[in-house]
Structure formats: C-alpha cells, structure tokens
C-alpha cells in the first residue's frame, strides 16, 4: 500500500470511528441518561392499569335458594373519532341501533356525529340486547362489506332480587357512594340496608388490577402483561331464612294487610333452641329491584324493617316477664291465689281495671296468665319489687339490642328504677306491658326464653359465609346469652301459656289443628305522640306463640299495628291469633312435626273485652 | 496471457479459511436471531389466542350469570304460583302408591354407596 492510500485509510477509519462514537454516545445518552424519561413516555402511551372488577357475592336461603344475585349489563359507548374515520356513516349506525336502544334515530345520529372519543349512548343494556346489537353489526358487515367501527360495550352489573318484594326488608338494597380515586371522582357500590349492608364487607370482595401493554391499534399485547393482582369475588352469604316458611308468613301478612289496612304488620318466626330466624316479614314492603333500576320514589316507610326498628308498647305479651320472674324466684307457684279485687284496684291513686273479671274475685297465677289479668300481673310485679323486676326485664333482653345481624336495630325503652322515667306507678304498669317500649324481635326472643327452657338466645339471621366453591369461611353458631329463668319456671309458664290457646284462654283462635300450641296475646293501646295519653280505639294487636308445647320447635310472632277493625274485633287473639294458626298449621306440615296424639279442637273465635 | 497474470498478481486473495469461523458465527447469529423472532412471534400469537379465550370465558361467565338470575326469577315461589294460575305449568298429584319410603342412614359422604329407589323403572322391567 502506498502512502496516499494509507493516509486515506486512516482518515476513513477515523471518520468511521468518530461516526460510531457519536452514535454510541447518543445511544448511551438515550438509553442510560434519558432512560426513565423515555420509559415513562412509552408507558404513558402504551401501558395501562386495567382494573379487574370483583363480583359481589350472592345471598341464598338456608336451602341454597338464590335471593340476591348480579345481572350482567353493558354500557354502550361510542368513539366519535373512530366513527368519523370509518366507512359507515353515523346515520347508518343510528339506524341499526335505534330500535334496540330505544332511542329515536335522529337523536342517536346526532350523538354519533361528533369527534368526542367517549360518548355514552345507553346504560344498563342487557346481555341479550348486547348480543342482538353485535349480531346486527355482523349482518350489516356481511351485507355491505363495510365494518361498523367505534361502538363499544363496557361491562357493568346490576343487583337483582328474584323474589321481588318477598324478604325485601331482610335483604335490603344497594346504593352508590362517591369516592375520590386517582384524582378523579368515582362511584362505589355499597349495601345501604338489610343484609346487603350488614354483610357488605363479606359480600363486596376486592377489585384487582393488571398492567397491560397495548399496540398502536390499542389491542393488548398479552405476553407483555406486567404486575397483576387478581380480584377476589365477594363471598356468598347464606341466611337462616327458609323461603318455604317465608312464603307462608308473607302470604298471611298480605292477607292481614289487605283485610285490616294497618299502619304496619310484622311476623317473625324463630327456632327457640338456636335463635335462628326462619322467617321475617313486614307490610308495607317494597321491591328492591325498583331501586336497582333507578326508581327512587319508594317511601322510606315502606323500606323500614319494622321487625327490628319499630318500637311499641307490648301490652299483655309482656306479662310473661313478671309471671316467669315470680315463679323463678319462688315467690309464687302456679296455684298461688292473687286477689284481683273484683276487677278494680286502686294503686297509687289510679284505678287499674280487669275487664270482665267481676265474677272472679281471685285468680291463681295460672289463671292470671290464662285470663291475662292486668291486676294479677301488677301484683306479681309488686311482689318482685322495683330492682328485681327491672333486672328480669333487662335479663329478658329488653332495653338492649338483641345483636341480630341487621342494621338499624333499636334497643327500645326501659326506664331504670333510678331514672326519672320510673315512678310509683311504673311497677304496676310495666308488668302488663305499659310504660315500656320494645321491638318485635325482642318480643319473639323473650318468648323463646320460655319455649327453650329459660335461655336467652341471640337471634341469628346469617347461617354462614361461604366461598364460590361452597367452602365455609365463617359459620355463625348459636349464641346463648344467659340463663334468664330456670327450666322448671319456664316449663310451668309454658303449661299456662298452653291454656291461653284454649277455650278458656284469650287466644282460642290461635289453635293449630292437630298440634298443641301455647302463647300470649297482646292488645296495647297506641300512645299519643308527645305523651298525651292513649288513643281510645287504636291498638297494637299481637300474638306470640310456640308449638308443639312439649318440645317447642317454632316460636312465631304476629303483630298488627292499628288494624282498621271494629271495637269488638280489635284484639290480639282475634286479629293476630288466626294468622298465627294458619302460619303454624302450614309450618308444622312443612317441617314434618309429628301431630299431637290428641289434637286440639278447631278454633272458634269468640272473645270478650276481658281477653285483651 | 500476460494480462491474466497481472490481474492475478494485483487481485486480493480471499482467505476463505480464515473467514470461515466468522462466517459460521454470522450464520449461527442469523439463525439465532430468526429463531428468536419466530418464537417471539409465536408468543404474541399465543398471547392473542389466550386473550381471545379469556374474553370468551368472561362472556360465557356473564351469560351464565345472566341465565342463573333469570332461572332464579322464573323458579321463585311467586313466579311458579303465577305460572300455575295461568296454566303454563300444572301440579301433578303424587299418589301415595307412587311414593317409596326408603329407610336409609343419614347422607353418606364421599363415594359411599347410597340407598336409591327406582320404582316404575328397574323394578318393573
């Protein structure tokens, strides 16, 4: 190689070296120095955090019948910019969608004729409708060889309650809460009432997410998936409610509500041994599906679960407290005679009356229960004394929440002897169910104490929480609260309560053909608001009973607030009693409870004013 | 003749023997690169089919959920009562003679043999 060639080669090498050094330097600058910046820019453009929405758990009854589920829906969204650049005109797309979305064609075409990238055409489009839209697009493409672009479906869900009004107060409903998330305002669905609310933390599950990378057409590049957290669907909640029994109760309440047009009526059925609620219903009621569909004109009164929220003066049903307490403290036996002074007794300057007992100057404790004597109950209260009687009232669970797994439960009102609400007349009034306010659930729980041998059980409405495979996550076992009275005292009172449901008692109409039943009627005058005494002809009529008496399997309360009935008919034994009888008969057959060897006679309702 | 000799003298000989290792490396690198591209492509295609299947699975799940809700709605007590009243379905009385009472222990677990009855089926054959 000559000298000139050598120089040329050196210059060429140097040039190339400079050139590649420049490239390398630039590469190092971009890849190392500017790495984070470009990585961020690329991620912003192609990487997206995709949420994975967890499904809400289902609610089922004790037999697995579906009570609340999720209905998949779609939100139809249009991307105006894609439509504008496509081959199909907005008017043509509007023509395809108009009847399926039930939106006028002109209005739809106007919505589609835009450059906006996100236009909601319609929410809550069902799966069959979404499939019909897709089918129509395919058919259009096949016919015209022009693909419809720019219409998308965003998945959504709606809570559905297959039984509509049935069990509506127990199940509750869903609502939306606004939350701040990632700088933007989002809405979160949550249970607002009933089991939907009280079991919300189990039902809701956890949403997941996944970082995905998209190509230039917006399609996900699956192998480039990044960090991922799987969603956990909500757990399923299994109730103690048996829908067969629930239907029996609801049918009877419907009948009562139509016949007597009360302010409200409630029925609760409980297993006294475990405290499990077998049925719970109220009238008036509502259809939670209406709320899911966005109808909001349902009055709050209809949505109130009266069984745990309403407080009423219980009336004679409360007499089980002083009688069982006096029996438990051995102050009396069932044969102890209580003087009822011919049905008029002056105590503390006030006359206490026992209607229709003028011909019975004295009654045994047994007959105090059977005839529902006010004076007899008051005298038993006096035997117990202020403090002891108050302790028993509280021990039966009055004045405190029962702990049932339903929201909004109230504790009722029980004044203590040390409070200003307790005066010298209280001890004569409270034993007959006046001057005390209780909830229906407290009443049925208290009667369960007598039915199960003296134990106060916490009412349970949730049986278990299970996962999608049916594996139990949490079991809600029976919770005994305390022994209120001895099993002996409870058994004695049961024998008296059995006589209540007989021709001698106040609740002959509550007789269950073929079965022995016991219970107590209640007919309490409704107090005027603001403490202005009582209405003359407005009553809360109730009956709380159990059957069979020897081994009670079921306790059932029927309560009717302000029935529009005649004065001679407005009694617990005549209004709530027959309803108890109908419910009891069907329940006994359904639960396959063996009939008593000597069936009770058919009920013939004939009561007098004294039977209140 | 002289021209040919001169051309041979002035031309650069290619030392094939010396280049062959580099040639082999280049071919292997090329093959490696092509294989990498092929498998990368396969990965993307497989990913696409996984994505499609995931989408189908989600759609099937949604359809299943929608149908489950619909079945539950149609089989509630009140819906069945309504259908019965309308005559869409009817109740068939089960005669006492058709009921077979089988006295068997409480529900067997696992794969244990369970007592069954099949009156009118196997028994009448």
pLDDT tens-digit map of A219-239 = 788 888 888 899 999 999 999
Q: For position A579, which CATH number holds? A: 3.40.710.10
Among candidate residues A151, A153, A128, the one with its CA nearest the CA of residue A140: A151
Q: Which domain holds residue A138?
A: 80-149
Which of A222, A233, A250 has the most B C-beta neighbours within 10 Å, making it the best mutation to test the interface with B?
Answer: A222
Nearest-5° angle of CA A588, CA A594, CA A598?
105
Q: Is the pLDDT of residue B104 over 70?
A: no
Q: Is the pLDDT of residue B118 over 70?
A: no
Q: Which two tokens stand for residue B50?
A: 């996984």
Which of B63, B65, B74, B82 has the most A C-beta neighbours within 10 Å, making it the best mutation to test the interface with A?
Answer: B65
Average pLDDT (A258-264) is 92
Q: What is the DSSP string of A504-538?
A: TSS-GGG-BTTB--EEEEEEEEEEPTTS--EEEEE
Tell me which residue in A65, A70, A166 faces B65 most closely, judged by beta carbons. Answer: A70
pLDDT in the model for residue B119: 45
Domain boundary among A149, A165, A185: A149
Rounded Cα distance between A36 and A23, Å, is: 20
Given an 8 Å threshold on Cβ–Cβ distance, is B72 in contact with A244? no
Q: What is the percent of chain A where pLDDT is above 90?
A: 56
A462-466 and A236-239 strand pairing: antiparallel
Given an 8 Å threshold on Cβ–Cβ distance, is A220 in contact with B51? yes
pLDDT in the model for residue A81: 85
**Of A152 and A23, more confident:** A23
User: Looking at beta carbons, which residues of chain A come within 8 Å of B79?
Assistant: 162
Rounded Cα distance between A17 and A299, Å, is: 85
- Residue A454 · residue A487 · CB < 8 Å: yes
Length of chain A: 612
Indicate whether A129 and A264 sit together in one domain. Answer: no
Among candidate residues A610, A279, A245, A579, the one with its CA nearest the CA of residue A444: A279
User: By CA distance, what is A246's nearest residue in B?
Assistant: B77
Helix H or strand E encompassing A270: strand A264-271
Q: Which two tokens stand for residue A383?
A: 């035997």
Domain count, chain A: 2
A125 three-class SS: strand
Q: Which residue has the tokens 């396959």?
A: A592
Q: Is the pLDDT of residue A602 over 70?
A: no
Classify burial at A269, counting beta carbons within 10 Å of its beta carbon; exposed 0-12, middle 13-18, buried 19 or more: buried
Which of B64, B78, B81 has the most A C-beta neighbours within 10 Å, making it the best mutation to test the interface with A?
Answer: B78
Lowest mean pLDDT among A258-262, A603-607, B74-78: A603-607
CA dist A591 to A206, A240, A337, A596, B54, Å?
39, 14, 40, 14, 46
Average pLDDT (A46-69) is 90
DSSP A438: B
- To the nearest 5 percent, what fractions of chain B are helix, strand and coil? 65, 0, 35
Given an 8 Å threshold on Cβ–Cβ distance, is B76 in contact with A155? no
Q: What are the two backbone dihedrals, phi and then psi, of residue A330, each rounded to the nearest 5 degrees?
A: 55, 30
Contact of A166 with chain B, judged by CB distance below 8 Å, is answered with yes
pLDDT in the model for residue A605: 43
- Residue A597 · residue A549 · CB < 8 Å: no
B-contacting residues in A 559-598 (Cβ below 8 Å):
none
Contact of B60 with chain A, judged by CB distance below 8 Å, is answered with no
Average pLDDT (A76-91) is 87
Residue A612: pLDDT band (50, 70, 90) is very low
Contact of B55 with chain A, judged by CB distance below 8 Å, is answered with no
Q: Is the pLDDT of residue A569 over 90?
A: no
User: Looking at beta carbons, which residues of chain B come within 8 Å of A163?
Assistant: 76-78
Q: Is the pLDDT of residue A357 over 80?
A: no
Q: Is the pLDDT of residue A340 over 70?
A: yes
Q: Which two tokens stand for residue A230?
A: 């799987």
Indicate whether A127 and A273 sit together in one domain. Answer: no
Tell me which residue in A72, A164, A244 faces B66 most closely, judged by beta carbons. Answer: A72
Given an 8 Å threshold on Cβ–Cβ distance, is A66 in contact with B68? yes
Contact of B44 with chain A, judged by CB distance below 8 Å, is answered with yes
Whether residue A105 is contained in a domain is answered as yes
Whether residue A23 is contained in a domain is answered as no
Given an 8 Å threshold on Cβ–Cβ distance, is A71 in contact with B65? yes
Rounded Cα distance between B19 and B21, Å, is: 6
Indicate whether A590 and A481 sit together in one domain. Answer: yes
Q: Which ranges of A102-232 does DSSP label H, i.e. alpha helix? A: 105-112, 127-144, 168-171, 194-198, 200-203
For residue A333, the number of C-alpha atoms closer than 13 Å in the C-beta half-sphere is 1
pLDDT in the model for residue A3: 83
pLDDT in the model for residue B120: 42
pLDDT in the model for residue B66: 87
Q: Is the pLDDT of residue A115 over 90?
A: no
pLDDT in the model for residue A294: 72
Tell me which residue in A71, A127, A164 faces B78 most closely, judged by beta carbons. Answer: A164
Given an 8 Å threshold on Cβ–Cβ distance, is A127 in contact with B47? no
Q: Is the pLDDT of residue B121 over 50?
A: no
pLDDT in the model for residue A487: 94
Average pLDDT (A357-372) is 81
User: By CA distance, what is B63's nearest residue in A?
Assistant: A127
Whether residue A378 is contained in a domain is answered as yes
pLDDT tens-digit map of A397-411 = 999 999 999 999 999
pLDDT in the model for residue A609: 42
For chain A, helix (H) and strand (E) counts, in that order, are 21, 23
Average pLDDT (A81-92) is 86
Q: Which ranges of B75-121 does DSSP label H, i.e. alpha helix? A: 77-86
User: Looking at beta carbons, which residues of chain A come within 8 Å of B47?
Assistant: 221-223
pLDDT in the model for residue A383: 93
Domain boundary among A149, A178, A209: A149
Q: Which residue has the tokens 């693909």?
A: A147
B-contacting residues in A 257-286 (Cβ below 8 Å):
none
Residue A530: pLDDT band (50, 70, 90) is confident
Contact of B20 with chain A, judged by CB distance below 8 Å, is answered with no
Indicate whether A140 and A253 sit together in one domain. Answer: no
Rounded Cα distance between A465 and A239, Å, is: 9
Q: Is the pLDDT of residue A336 over 50?
A: yes
pLDDT tens-digit map of A484-519 = 999 999 999 999 999 999 988 888 999 999 999 999
pLDDT tens-digit map of A308-335 = 999 999 999 999 999 999 999 999 999 9
Neighbouring-strand partners of residue A282: A266
Q: Which two tokens stand for residue A324?
A: 């069982």
Domain boundary among A149, A179, A209: A149
Contact of A66 with chain B, judged by CB distance below 8 Å, is answered with yes
pLDDT tens-digit map of A67-79 = 999 989 888 988 8
pLDDT tens-digit map of B59-72 = 898 888 888 888 98
Q: What are the two backbone dihedrals, phi and then psi, of residue B73, each rounded to the nearest 5 degrees?
A: -65, -40
């Amino acid at each position: 190689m000559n000298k000139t060639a050598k120089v040329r080669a050196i210059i060429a090498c140097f040039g190339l070296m400079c050139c590649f050094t420049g490239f390398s330097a630039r590469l190092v600058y971009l890849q190392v120095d500017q790495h984070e910046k470009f990585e961020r820019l690329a991620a912003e453009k192609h990487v997206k955090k995709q949420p994975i929405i967890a499904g809400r758990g289902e609610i089922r009854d004790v037999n697995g019948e579906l009570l609340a589920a999720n209905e998949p829906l779609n939100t139809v969204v249009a991307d105006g910019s894609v439509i504008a650049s496509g081959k199909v005109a907005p008017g043509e797309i509007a023509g395809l969608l108009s009847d399926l979305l039930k939106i006028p064609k002109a209005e739809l075409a106007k919505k589609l004729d835009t450059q906006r990238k996100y236009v909601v055409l319609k929410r809550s489009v069902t799966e069959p409708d979404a499939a019909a839209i897709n089918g129509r697009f395919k058919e259009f493409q096949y016919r015209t060889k022009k693909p419809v672009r720019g219409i998308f479906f965003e998945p959504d869900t709606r809570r559905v309650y297959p039984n509509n009004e049935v069990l509506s107060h127990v199940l509750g409903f869903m609502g939306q809460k606004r939350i701040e998330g990632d700088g933007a305002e989002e809405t979160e669905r949550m249970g607002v009432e009933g089991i939907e609310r009280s079991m919300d933390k189990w039902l809701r599950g956890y949403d997941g997410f996944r970082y995905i990378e998209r190509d230039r057409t917006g399609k996900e590049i699956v192998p480039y998936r990044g960090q991922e957290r799987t969603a956990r669907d909500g757990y399923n909640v299994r109730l103690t409610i048996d829908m067969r029994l629930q239907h029996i109760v609801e049918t009877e309440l419907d009948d009562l509500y139509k016949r007597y047009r009360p302010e409200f009526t409630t029925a609760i059925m409980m297993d006294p041994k475990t405290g499990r609620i077998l049925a719970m219903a109220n009238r008036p009621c509502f259809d939670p599906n209406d709320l899911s569909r966005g109808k909001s004109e349902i009055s709050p009164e209809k949505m109130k679960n009266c069984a745990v929220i309403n407080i009423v003066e219980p009336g004679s049903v409360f007499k089980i407290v002083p009688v069982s307490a006096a029996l438990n403290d051995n102050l009396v036996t069932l044969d102890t005679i209580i003087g009822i002074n011919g049905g008029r007794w002056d105590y503390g300057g006030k006359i206490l009356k026992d209607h229709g007992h003028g011909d019975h100057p004295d009654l045994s404790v047994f007959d105090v229960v059977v005839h529902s004597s006010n004076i007899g109950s008051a005298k038993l209260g006096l035997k117990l004394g202020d403090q002891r009687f108050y302790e028993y009232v509280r021990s039966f669970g009055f004045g405190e929440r029962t702990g049932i797994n339903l929201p909004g439960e109230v504790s009722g009102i029980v004044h203590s002897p040390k409070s200003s609400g307790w005066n010298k007349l209280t001890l004569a009034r409270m034993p007959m169910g006046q001057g005390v306010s209780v909830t229906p659930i407290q009443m049925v729980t208290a009667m369960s104490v007598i039915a199960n041998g003296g134990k106060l059980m916490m009412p349970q409405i949730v049986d278990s929480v299970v996962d999608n495979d049916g594996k139990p996550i949490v079991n809600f076992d029976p919770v005994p609260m305390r022994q209120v009275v001895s099993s002996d005292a409870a058994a004695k009172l049961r024998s008296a309560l059995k006589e209540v449901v007989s021709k001698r008692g106040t609740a002959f109409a509550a007789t269950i053909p073929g079965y022995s039943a016991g219970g107590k009627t209640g007919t309490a005058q409704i107090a005027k608001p603001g403490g202005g005494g009582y209405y003359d002809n407005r009553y809360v009529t109730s009956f709380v009973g159990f059957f069979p008496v020897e081994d009670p399997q079921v306790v059932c309360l029927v309560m009717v607030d302000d029935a529009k009935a005649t004065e001679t008919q407005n009694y617990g034994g005549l209004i709530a009693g027959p309803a108890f009888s109908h419910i009891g008969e069907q329940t006994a057959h359904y639960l396959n409870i063996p009939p008593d060897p000597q069936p009770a006679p058919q009920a013939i309702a004939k009561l007098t004013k004294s039977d209140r | 003749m002289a021209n040919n000799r001169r051309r041979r003298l002035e031309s650069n000989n290619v030392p094939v023997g010396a280049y062959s290792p580099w040639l082999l490396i280049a071919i292997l690198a090329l093959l490696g690169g092509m294989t990498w591209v092929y498998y990368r492509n396969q990965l993307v295609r497989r990913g696409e089919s996984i994505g499609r299947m995931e989408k189908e699975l989600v759609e099937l799940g949604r359809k299943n959920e929608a149908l489950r809700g619909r079945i539950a709605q149609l089989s509630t007590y009140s819906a069945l009562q309504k259908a019965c009243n309308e005559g869409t379905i009817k109740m068939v009385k089960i005669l006492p003679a058709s009921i077979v009472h089988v006295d068997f222990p409480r529900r067997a677990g696992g794969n244990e043999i369970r007592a069954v009855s099949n009156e009118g089926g196997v028994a009448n054959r």
